A and B are shown apart, each in its own frame.
Chain A
Amino acid sequence: MLGKKKSSYFKSLQGKINLSLLLIVAIAVISFMLISLQQSKKVIRETSVEYTAQLLKMVNENIDSYIGNMENIAQIVTGDSDVSSYLFSEGTVDALFGTRVEQEFKTLMESRKDIYNIGIIGENHRYLINDKETVMNPYANLEGQEWYQMALAGGESLTSSHVQNVVQNEYPWVVTLSKGILGPKDSGKRGVLFVDLNYSSIRNLCENLNLGTKGYVFILDAQGNLIYHPKQQLIYSGFWEEEFDKVQEIKNGTVYSKDKQRMYTVTRSDVTGWSVVGVTDEKEMLASLEKIKVLYYLMAVALIGVAMMLSVTLMDVITKPLFNLRETMKRVENGELDVEIKEPDSADEIADLVQSFKRMLAEIRQLIDRNVREQREKRKSELNALQAQINPHFLYNTLDSIIWMAEDGNTKDVVLMTSSLARLLRRSISNKNEIVTLREEVEYTQSYLVIQKMRYKDKLEYAFDLDERVLGIEIVKLLIQPLVENSIYHGLKYKENGKGMLAVSVAKEQDDIIIRVMDNGVGMTEEQLEHIFDERVIDHKRNGVGVLNVHRRIQLHYGPEYGLSFESEKGVGTTATIRIPYRTLGEV
């Protein structure tokens, strides 16, 4: 049942429009939202990448400046003749060289706090590190160290971060730059200069960089060795994995970890070849997106809600008149032609439709009215025409009566009868006027009765009981005479003994006029009474003019609540009663 209702809703105009609207709004809002989210994500990511790259660039520039500075120092020291003299002079070293070199180292180190050691070491193991007092670690195993080997071979090297064990009892974390020092030409003597950069300066650069709570920075040297990583030990133990291969492949740019949860932003320095890599947590980076997302979804829900409410109200405005129109049409369909059509408030197409319907309905009503009126008029004239005819038998009989009376020389009666007949005929012929006063109708009936009385003599007695107040009322003509005629021919004529009595009374009863025609004729059985208005039993001798005609004309003129009724008892008599309104015809 619910399904049926639902389907009917989806079929209704209101349903269709509402649902389409909802669908359109939902699609629009959702696509807008998704596109916006995508866009926001992109922007957030781009901003983050840009920001990270900026920071990393600064780290790189700082490192470059540290290394550049170390190289400057190396340049100064290796080009110093005192250094050469100190390292390579034959025999014992002149203390003067040592003091000068020491002084130079001191100056250099004071200018740069990030330098941990400056040292020169000859192949002959003559050395000076920082100052004359510093003692070299006897277990240092210089030959096993790459930076020493490479520099001795005439090259230059930059180590990764490592523990420097050259000085006895000291194990600092440093980055070492080393450079070869050549002895006097053809002497074949070689030496090494090394400058140690305090690792904490690099470490601090990385640690102070804020890439979110989960983000961090690590540095790889040109060979891919770790210079700095906050989780270095965890990496060695296998508790933390970093995709160094991916990072090594790119020089500058971003790359994602396999699980897409970490984003590597790589900046490689051209000076050192080191890659400073920023690691940002994807989730953390997009945390602000979560907030935006909540906002967007709330907005979408709100928009759809508002659209729904608007749609419902709008639909009321649009479909309410339609709905009303449909209801009205249904009533009209069921025959209620006189329904009241509400004027719509608006002036839109629906209002036009309602107006058109209204006009149409008025037209229909008019047409129907005219049709009814015409039919009624037609019927009336037909009936009148019938009624107007004077029964020819009556005419013959009357004329015969006149002849007999004339033969008898009964002039007085001839005059009376002839004048009465003349009055009857005149009335009948003045066909145009179908409205007469009650008085005229009564007079007509009296004329008729005069004639009949003369024919039936003592067999017929009649009397009138008239309320003078109502005689001026105009009525449809020929209402009383046919009833009188009916009483005579069907009631009194067959009465076998005793006098035939006929009484006509006109009286006012409340707002009605009651006309009664009573006789004491043979009366009717109940069955006859029931069929008194049946057309079939109309006496054809009387050309169908009779009680039915009277009844119909009353109803046609006055309405169905008025008319003719009969009371009768077999052998006692019959009373015909006409009920018409107390008003002049034509007044409504």
Chain B
Amino acid sequence: MGKKQNRKVFIASGVATILMLLAIYSISTYTGSARTDAGISVILIPKVIDEDNDFWGAITEGARLAAQEKNIDLAIMGTAAETDVNGQNRIIEEAIEKKPNAIVLAPSAYEETVPYARKIQEAGIKLVIIDSKLSENLGAAFVATDNVEGGRKMSEFVKDDIDENSVIGIVGHVKGTSTAAEREQGIREGLGKYESQIADVVFCDSSYSKAFQVTCDMIEEHPDMNIIFGMNEYSAVGAARAVKALGLEQQITMVGFDSSLEEVEMLEAGVFDAIVVQRPMNMGYLGVSMAYQISLSTEMPQDIDSGSVLITSDTIYTEENQKLLFPFRESN
């Protein structure tokens, strides 16, 4: 009489048991491991791909570490020369074709890269800008060294030695670039009331020989100059070569920015009194990490400081600093 009904009840109980089992399964699975490693793909476009370039090598290494840590499918695409703006723009278009979840871009040009960066966003791909700014505020995140802070570190190092008689010179890299402007701003902020002691600001267009030349000219013009800031590797090394050539290592306190083997040698030799170095590995790591996070959620645009460190001749060989100054290379 109620036989069919009975069977329905029984089957319902069985199905309930099975559903319960599945529920337990999914709960145990989801509490056991949040399944976020959902195959995020990221393309990193540095300014240059160059085995011998420590800065970009470290960025790539940091990016790889982040990719490994979060199971990101990371591809790196780039040009062979930092100045190949058109080449990078082409590569951006290629990267968009590959439809990654996110692109981490170190723009080669302040202006010319903008339309291509916009294309990335228009294609629905998340964009993270690293290292250098664009003329427009694009990208969901900007990971770079806080250059104002870096500049401030430079000037704060020499602050104790400054008095009314100090003559300060600044050798910048490219006039009008954001990094040059920001570092100069930082130096001025750090100097505080001695800001007026800055006698001259010259630019070398990121060339060692021009840096050498403009420094010699500047010293000739201000023979009493006793503090020189070099605002990137080219300007710092070029200026240091000039100071060394003029034999003024003792008279002039030099603070450089960025590092190279030559710069470290001159720091060890006492030509530089200090240098401020960036943390490119952090930049790569944070850039890819941000790309990953943004791909998983909609986060507000933000700026992230990847950090900088001031190193003197005494601190070259600290555990931490030697890692920054002497990136390990297989060729050593």
Interface residues of A (CB under 8 A from B): 5-6, 8-9, 12, 14-15, 18-19, 22, 26, 30, 137-139, 160, 162-163, 165, 169, 171-173, 198-200, 203, 213-214, 225-226, 230-234, 236-237, 239, 283, 290, 293-294, 297, 300-301, 304-305, 308, 311-312, 323
Contact = CB atoms under 8 A, between A and B. Distances in A.
B25 A308 contact: no
Contact of B324 (A30, A233, A293, A300): A233
Given A162-B322, A226-B319, 20 more contacts: A9-B9, A12-B6, A15-B6, A18-B10, A22-B14, A137-B268, A165-B268, A165-B316, A200-B328, A214-B71, A225-B319, A234-B62, A234-B282, A236-B323, A237-B282, A297-B22, A300-B21, A304-B18, A304-B21, A312-B10
Interface centre among A138, A160, A162, A297 (most CB of B within 10 A): A297
Given A283-B33, A293-B25, A19 B13 contact: yes
B5 A308 contact: no
Nearest to B69: A214
Interface string B299-332: 0000000010000010011011011111010101
A237 B279 contact: yes
Given A139-B269, A234-B285, A297-B22, A9 B328 contact: no
B332 A173 contact: yes
Q: Is the interface of A mostly helix, strand, loop or mixed?
A: helix
Contacts of B319: 160, 162, 225-226, 236
Contacts of B68: 213-214
A239 B269 CA distance: 33
A162 B321 CA distance: 10
A15 B9 contact: yes
B80 interface: no
Given A169-B265, A199-B328, A236-B323, A290 B285 contact: no
Nearest to B67: A213
Nearest to B65: A231
A297 B25 contact: yes
Interface string B60-80: 001001001101000000000
B65 A304 contact: no
A272 B18 CA distance: 57
Contacts of A214: 68-69, 71
Nearest to B306: A237
Contacts of A301: 18, 21-22
A351 B186 CA distance: 101
B102 to A, nearest CB: 19
Interface of B: 2-3, 5-7, 9-11, 13-14, 17-18, 21-22, 25, 28-29, 33, 58, 62, 65, 68-69, 71, 261, 264-265, 268-270, 279, 281-282, 285-286, 307, 313, 316-317, 319-320, 322-326, 328, 330, 332
Contacts of B286: 239
Nearest to A225: B319
Contacts of A139: 268-270, 313
Contacts of B313: 139
B2 A8 contact: yes
Contacts of A138: 269
Contacts of B285: 234, 239
A171 B317 CA distance: 11
Contacts of B326: 163, 171, 173
A141 to B, nearest CB: 9
A234 B71 contact: no
Nearest to A15: B6
